[in-house]
Structure 1
């Protein structure tokens, strides 16, 4: 199916919903912390969508740039192949203490709710809090999903015709406490809790034993475990990184003694780097490596096996619908070039390319590599925090196409 009409629908309807919402008296956006000094000054006042709305309404906008918090809200009406039509409300808040010392990292809260044409409910909450002087990093990654979803089987050679629907309810709670070991280097424990209930196959082909059934279909399954994460993060902001490094290693152990249905282990290795290019411009070359590996002989639940767009931020594998490929291991790399089309920062865009592989044993080779390319537009939602509305279209092999929308950058 050609998804370009869907992209146009999404863009137009999203813009209309923004205009209707922000024109309302209850519209709220509250200030910011100190201006962005990490990028060259264009000499032109920066603008966001609120400046446009106020100009259209011929009203004066009070400058809240001296404040230490920013709060952005975006409602939307959108369409995607895995959800159909959906109505959503997303929020992002960035904040620092008014008395924060120089170099204090910005804390973030991102949350939302979506309800879709296929009766799917999605409730994500991400909290990233930095204590004073960046001594500790407190993170909560939580999500509830009632999510009829498509699955295609295991491995990189599945066909689009293999698709069928699975139903499940999903609760995810991953709290993390990281302590500063030295400048920008942190480490600490994580607790993992993932619970799937009411897991059923809806419309598999008659007479066909699915990969899910072969792997072990269970109506309910729990993964409860502990882990350790070590990360290095020299970025100033999560919402709009413009330079610096991010690298992390996460080990997860899920013993039956902690309530897991099966015993298994995994490792996630991730790296990101941001390079102003050209050096004195506001354009950014961003690089991302994400490697999700099952180690040992354990068997993770089918729905927790490495799969595209099932990372913590659900962003890997642009150009493919969520869950298009699934396997025991995932190796992923993406590069993206972010450009500002207007010197005011209101409009921008990106081009990206990525590749993913699902080798049974990474030490023996990658196997089939699945590439994708695409492009997107960026509209500045909050000029103080740097929050963009990101709308991307990508395509991969075998006719794969997908649209994705984010509040903030993809990585």
Structure 2
């Protein structure tokens, strides 16, 4: 009750702060050039397997296209070959004349996912973590997890004068529940504690359910031409997150997230011919986080980091990630088909087992095909095959560019 009351007060403040001056504009504006693509979904990645269902994608303008950036929303209602249910809505909305940005990430998962332990040097096969004595063994390598996730992230950013800079506040809530750890029947039988349980018990968290609830201070530089498929310019995002116990978190903590993307156009006459660069960092600043809330590969907003590995393949208190992608058209005079070649790298540090950030770096690389199904708004179907170290690989089928 206390958490719900505080959250209500917080969002009442955000709503009044953000919309009091623009209420008339919202009432006056209609959605311009609204495009809804109610795609029957067939998607794939290593963590979920093949996914089937609906994946509606929408784009529209909240004002005149000449002065307002394109808003977008991607939804998922999916069932997977690994017997998972995935419901999500993720949005990036620009109000009239770009005065506000509304960033939303809402999810409900009934899912499963392997975890491999903490740090960057975790092996594929299950064994004992050498950082711990055998008398108190902690498993290392592939360990299976079933869990449920409720996520509600919403951020409101207000434009600073007529610049491309935005400042704002957000609320983030993650509830993990019904967590079960196990090994598959075909895995080697190794006696030891599951990494999830050992880590959570060491830091005083429950091993079956936990909550992370917090507010964020955010700054954005939004200079991309179209967010879902940029051809030029750049984007930067900094988010300082506070998770106080009085907001509902099991323990107080704080984290820092930094995200930068730049697009170098190689041909002014064919702007689809470009090099994209992505740098991403996520760091625990104070306190402790529950295991599944630690920075992890593939858990960015749209789940696009780390092609070549399964979601959650690497995890730790601190994370660095980078990627470069060469994008090019495959037709001389049309934009329907395109291709990509990409290279990425990640590194994780973990105080729990003593591994330092950048001590081990995991590369990934691959190629992809792009099919643009809406040229006006650049809605694109992307298909990638990527490889990582030690035999890790995967096929990825999604909507829109990876970053």
The two structures share one fold, judged by TM-score above 0.5: yes
Q: What is the rounded CA distance, in whole Å, between the counterparts of 1:410 and 1:218 in structure 2? A: 33
Q: What is the rounded CA distance, in whole Å, between the counterparts of 2:349 and 2:121 in structure 1? A: 11
Q: What is the rounded CA distance, in whole Å, between the counterparts of 1:128 and 1:121 in structure 2? A: 24
1:83 matched residue in structure 2: 48
1:73 matched residue in structure 2: 38
Structure 1 residue 207 and structure 2 residue 191: aligned? yes
How many residues are aligned here? 342
CA contact (8 A) 1:152 1:164 kept: yes
Q: In the TM superposition, what whole-angstrom CA distance separates every residue of 1:362-397 from its partner, at most 9, and x where no partner exists?
A: 9x7621111111000001111121111001111011
Q: What is the rounded CA distance, in whole Å, between the counterparts of 1:70 and 1:248 in structure 2? A: 27
TM-aligned CA deviation for residue 76 of structure 1: 3.3
Of residues 364, 368, 377, the one that matches 1:376 is 368
Q: What is the rounded CA distance, in whole Å, between the counterparts of 1:157 and 1:373 in structure 2? A: 18
TM-aligned CA deviation for residue 73 of structure 1: 2.7
| Unmatched segments (≥5 aa) in structure 2 | 1-31, 126-140, 201-205
TM-aligned CA deviation for residue 91 of structure 1: 1.4
TM-aligned CA deviation for residue 267 of structure 1: 0.5
Distance 1:334 1:385, change over 3 A: same
Distance 1:327 1:365, change over 3 A: closer
Q: What is the rounded CA distance, in whole Å, between the counterparts of 1:155 and 1:360 in structure 2? A: 5
Structure 1 residue 276 and structure 2 residue 276: aligned? no
Structure 1 residue 255 and structure 2 residue 244: aligned? yes
Q: What is the rounded CA distance, in whole Å, between the counterparts of 1:317 and 1:192 in structure 2? A: 23
Q: In the TM superposition, what whole-angstrom CA distance separates every residue of 1:91-113 from its partner, at most 9, and x where no partner exists?
A: 1111114x616231111111111
Over aligned residues, Cα RMSD in angstroms?
1.8
Of residues 229, 238, 253, the one that matches 1:240 is 229
TM-aligned CA deviation for residue 206 of structure 1: 4.7
Of residues 153, 157, 177, the one that matches 2:156 is 177
Q: What is the rounded CA distance, in whole Å, between the counterparts of 1:147 and 1:324 in structure 2? A: 15
Structure 1 residue 310 and structure 2 residue 310: aligned? no
Q: In the TM superposition, what whole-angstrom CA distance separates every residue of 1:234-290 from its partner, at most 9, and x where no partner exists?
A: 113211111111001000111111110121111000100111113443301111011
1:194 matched residue in structure 2: 174
Q: In the TM superposition, what whole-angstrom CA distance separates every residue of 1:176-228 from its partner, at most 9, and x where no partner exists?
A: 11011131100110101100110111327452112212201521100011111
Give the TM-score of the pair, scaled to structure 2.
0.81
Please give the secondary structure, in 2, of the residue aligned with 1:218. Answer: coil
Q: What is the rounded CA distance, in whole Å, between the counterparts of 2:103 and 2:231 in structure 1? A: 22
Please give the secondary structure, in 2, of the residue aligned with 1:68. Answer: strand
1:320 matched residue in structure 2: 309
Of residues 347, 358, 368, the one that matches 1:357 is 347
CA contact (8 A) 1:72 1:381 kept: no
Q: What is the rounded CA distance, in whole Å, between the counterparts of 1:108 and 1:278 in structure 2? A: 26
Please give the secondary structure, in 2, of the residue aligned with 1:358. Answer: strand
1:345 matched residue in structure 2: 335
Please give the secondary structure, in 2, of the residue aligned with 1:316. Answer: coil
CA contact (8 A) 2:324 2:343 kept: yes
CA contact (8 A) 2:143 2:194 kept: no
